[in-house]
Structure 1
Amino acid sequence: MNRRFVLAAAPLILLALTGAAKKPLPRKAPPPAPAAAPLGDLVRVTMVTELGPIELELDHAHAPLTVENFVRYVDARRFDGMTFYRAMRLAWGDQPNGLVQTGLQGDPRKLFKPVAHEPTTLTGLSHKAGALSMARLAPGTATADFSIMLSDLTGLDADPKSDNPDVQAGYAVFGRVVAGMDVVRRIWDAPLSPTKGEGVMKGQLLDPPVKVLTVRRAG
């Protein structure tokens, strides 16, 4: 440690020791945190990845609970540093056909409480190319992971006629990509691991994952 730093620090140490003998002054209450900007019917978000930016438009008018959940993560900057970790590539149909997935992958240090499920039968939205859709296990367990559709995958919409409760619920669409689908395509085309992952995820995990640098409200 250089001498200059030690000398500079010494008065601070003395001040702390001297102050300890005095009755502490009452602390002022911290100023309230600034209120988050209100959400309109449509909310623009910019997601900057290491392969380029992706512009998102969140449909607060039709999927308010899901959008408010998503924006909470954005405003808390908890999406910064996450990765796109999955590319599902369907061999049938017009290419590209499938989706990419990103999020916090269940990191308990960053997760908020799960959001209530908003089915497409309620929102009127659909899994069209460019749609944003919440990943989940059972309905009502979605937190911070979501997918971007590379193609129309309307089979992920809620289907009230199905005998399967999970298919009846479908997945929750909450917005769409309005610019940067070329970046989404580059993520989808990135190398996959042939061995990582289990079950349906095996062979769908990006290796290496594509890093998300920042996610911010735009404007």
Structure 2
Amino acid sequence: MRTAIRRFDRRLFVAGLLTTPLAAAAPGPVRVRMSTDLGDIVVELYPDKAPISVANFLAYADRHLLDGGSFYRTVGPWNDNNPATISVIQGGLNRDDSPLPAIAHETTKVTGLPHIDGVISMARDGPGTAGGEFFICIGNNPALDFGGTRNPDGQGFAAFGRVVEGMDVVRKIHKAPAVSNASDPYLKGQMIAELVKIRTLGRS
């Protein structure tokens, strides 16, 4: 996945996230609900396995920063412009900056959360640049794991939860028509023609 994120001093931000009651209490799974134009998607997050990524996503959810965002990209074997083919939908604010600072990268080697069907993960450019953009896997996508070939750095992406309700909605979005042109050739044929709006995103 590719995303443009403005760099911040993430050390202070991450330190703050990890001292919140959520992280300090090492809780069990937390659920969030995305209400979209095509239906609801409920995602179970795993703070015990991916504390940084989960705390970041919950910060966006609790502040309603992703309300009004969208699913704007669909990638599959029919339109992937990378030889390490994947099947995902990408969502967020689809902008070059991010409301909150970027976070440290949590690899699948550390978390033990592979990119299997329904897994949610952080979109990024270089390691440590993830912010408010995310994607959901359709089917198994080992190219996105640590050591995978999707990115030359081999660090993979930071999985942090899994869809527990609404995979039918995810699959509908995945099949949404996409435009043939894009300003970035890498994204050609992947940008959804009619964006699927995220009406609200908050704890379930």
Pairwise TM-score range, normalised by the shorter structure: 0.7 to 0.9
Q: 2:175 maps to which residue?
A: 189
1:33-65 deviation line (CA, Å, top 9, x unaligned):
xxx874622110010001000000001110000
1:37 to 1:53, Cα distance in 2 relative to 1, 3 A: farther
State the Cα distance separating 1:197 from its structure 2 match.
4.1
Q: 2:106 maps to which residue?
A: 118
Structure 1 CA distance for aligned equivalents of residues 29 and 195 of structure 2: 30
State the Cα distance separating 1:105 from its structure 2 match.
2.1
Structure 2 CA distance for aligned equivalents of residues 129 and 206 of structure 1: 21
Q: 2:68 maps to which residue?
A: 81
Equivalent of 1:106 in 95, 114, 123: 95
Question: One-letter code of the match for 1:72?
Answer: A
Structure 2 CA distance for aligned equivalents of residues 123 and 197 of structure 1: 34
Equivalent of 1:71 in 36, 46, 58: 58
TM-score by length of 2: 0.80
Q: 2:13 maps to which residue?
A: none
Contact persistence 1:197–1:203 (CA under 8 A)? no
State the Cα distance separating 1:165 from its structure 2 match.
5.9
Name structure 2 gaps, 5 residues minimum. Answer: 1-19, 80-85
1:207 aligns with 2:193: yes
Structure 2 CA distance for aligned equivalents of residues 129 and 197 of structure 1: 29
Question: What percentage of aligned pairs have identical amino acids?
Answer: 42
Contact persistence 1:197–1:205 (CA under 8 A)? no
Q: Which structure 2 residues correspond to residues 1-219 of structure 1 after superposition, within 5 A?
A: 38=22, 40-91=27-78, 98-106=87-95, 108=97, 111-159=99-147, 166-167=153-154, 169-218=155-204
Structure 2 CA distance for aligned equivalents of residues 105 and 68 of structure 1: 20
State the Cα distance separating 1:143 from its structure 2 match.
0.2
1:61-107 deviation line (CA, Å, top 9, x unaligned):
10000000000000000010001000001149xxxx61100012235
Structure 1 CA distance for aligned equivalents of residues 127 and 22 of structure 2: 27
TM-score by length of 1: 0.75
1:155 to 1:42, Cα distance in 2 relative to 1, 3 A: same
RMSD value over aligned CA atoms?
2.0
Equivalenced residues, count: 175
The 3-state SS of whatever aligns with 1:113 is coil
Structure 2 CA distance for aligned equivalents of residues 54 and 189 of structure 1: 16
Structure 2 CA distance for aligned equivalents of residues 214 and 37 of structure 1: 24
State the Cα distance separating 1:125 from its structure 2 match.
0.6
Question: One-letter code of the match for 2:144?
Answer: L
Structure 2 CA distance for aligned equivalents of residues 125 and 44 of structure 1: 17
1:173 to 1:111, Cα distance in 2 relative to 1, 3 A: same
With a CA cutoff of 8 Å and minimum separation of 6, indicate the structure with the bigger relative contact order: 2
Contact persistence 2:68–2:198 (CA under 8 A)? yes
Structure 1 CA distance for aligned equivalents of residues 152 and 87 of structure 2: 23
